[in-house]
């Protein structure tokens, strides 16, 4: 079935859900999304439990493990900004601060219910679903953005914002896998993807991610980086504007590299924008990108193989 008023997309089936009022559909989707648990990598979960079991573990060690994993990052941001911890103080985004704020016992309790991603080769086979592929891109974008963080921005803030850029689509893939598969098939056509998601769930992915971030009391800079461009009336202070722009450019660069039909000139134009934004020389920029790929392979080998097989790294650093 194709959407009314839209031409059928070759090879793409779009099944509309049961006929319920759009407002009710949107309520159901948001309610499920804010309660959803995004799976974590078993390797990272074991490493975090090992740190929790060691009384002398350093906050920096916790932070390094957490920021390699979408599920862990999201869960601890949610817990750290929950009303119980957030009353009477500012929202927190830097993971090191969240680790200190929560303490070992609360971290252990927060991560215990998380489901697990497939481990080893099962996470990198040719049948990997949309959720795995979305998480792979999100974690790589966070790793890349962290490496490219320029003077004046804080690397942990940049990492968290880049990690959650695709939050809405990740949540849809968790709570409605069939919708997630449909949207993944439309990934090269963002306009149609948004319209399809709206018809099927009551939300465009970016708007759902923003609504969930508000429910979870996330800091404004995270909500700003998630928000669709048309909803950004202003990007706030100059520092916030730089951070959001960096996240947007990294996101566009990786998305472009993941599509074989993307022209080399388009990728080069984004790279030139990143040169200007970061202030890095081309040679240093290339070294930082290469280092981020190395770090990503070391910390997320299954995700690395997924993106390598899609040709992402060849188009970025080739």
- Structural domains in the chain, sorted by start: 36-117 (no CATH), 124-317 (1.10.3210.10)
Is residue 246 within 8 Å of residue 278, measured between CB atoms? yes
pLDDT of residue 264: 94
Residues of the chain with pLDDT under 50: 1-17, 88, 121, 123-126
Look at residue 91 in the predicted model and tell me its pLDDT: 74
Q: What are the Cα distances from residue 163, in Å, to 36, 104, 150, 196, 241?
A: 17, 23, 17, 24, 17
How do residues 61-85 score in pLDDT, each as one tens digit? Answer: 999 999 999 999 999 999 999 865 5
For residue 160, CA distances in Å to 2, 27, 221, 294 come to 36, 27, 10, 20
pLDDT in tens, 155-202: 999 999 999 999 999 999 999 999 999 999 999 999 999 999 999 999
Residue 318: the pLDDT is: 66
Q: What is the pTM of this model?
A: 0.90
Q: Which residue is listed with tokens 């100059």?
A: 238
Q: Which CA distances in Å does 306 have to 45, 164, 296?
A: 20, 19, 12
Residues in the chain: 318
Closest-CA residue to 180 (of 307, 14, 41): 14
Phi-psi region of 218 (alpha: psi -120 to 50; beta: other; left: phi over 0): beta
């Amino acid at each position: 079935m194709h959407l009314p008023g839209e031409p059928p997309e070759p090879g793409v089936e779009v099944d509309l859900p049961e006929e319920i009022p759009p407002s009710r559909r949107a309520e159901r989707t948001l309610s499920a999304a804010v309660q959803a648990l995004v799976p974590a990598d078993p390797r990272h979960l074991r490493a975090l439990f090992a740190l929790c079991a060691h009384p002398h573990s350093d906050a920096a060690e916790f932070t390094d493990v957490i920021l390699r994993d979408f599920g862990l990052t999201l869960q601890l941001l949610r817990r750290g900004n929950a009303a119980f911890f957030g009353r009477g103080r500012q929202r927190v985004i830097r993971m090191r601060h969240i680790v200190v704020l929560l303490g070992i016992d609360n971290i252990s309790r927060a991560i215990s219910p998380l489901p697990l991603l497939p481990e080893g080769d099962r996470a990198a086979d040719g049948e990997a679903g949309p959720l795995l592929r979305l998480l792979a891109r999100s974690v790589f974008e966070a790793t890349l953005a962290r490496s490219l963080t320029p003077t004046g921005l804080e690397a942990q803030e940049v990492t968290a914002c880049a990690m959650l850029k695709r939050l809405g689509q990740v949540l849809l893939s968790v709570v409605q896998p069939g919708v997630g598969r449909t949207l993944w098939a439309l990934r090269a056509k963002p306009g149609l993807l948004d319209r399809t998601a709206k018809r099927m769930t009551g939300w465009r992915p970016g708007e759902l991610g923003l609504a969930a971030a508000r429910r979870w009391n996330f800091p404004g800079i995270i909500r700003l980086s998630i928000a669709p461009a048309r909803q950004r009336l202003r990007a706030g202070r100059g520092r916030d504007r730089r951070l959001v722009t960096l996240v947007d450019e990294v996101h566009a660069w990786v998305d472009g590299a993941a599509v074989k039909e993307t022209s080399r000139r388009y990728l080069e134009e984004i790279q030139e924008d990143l040169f200007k934004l970061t202030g890095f020389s081309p040679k240093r920029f290339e070294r930082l990108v290469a280092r981020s790929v190395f770090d990503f392979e070391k910390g997320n080998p299954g995700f690395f193989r997924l993106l390598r097989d899609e040709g992402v790294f060849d188009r970025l650093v080739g």
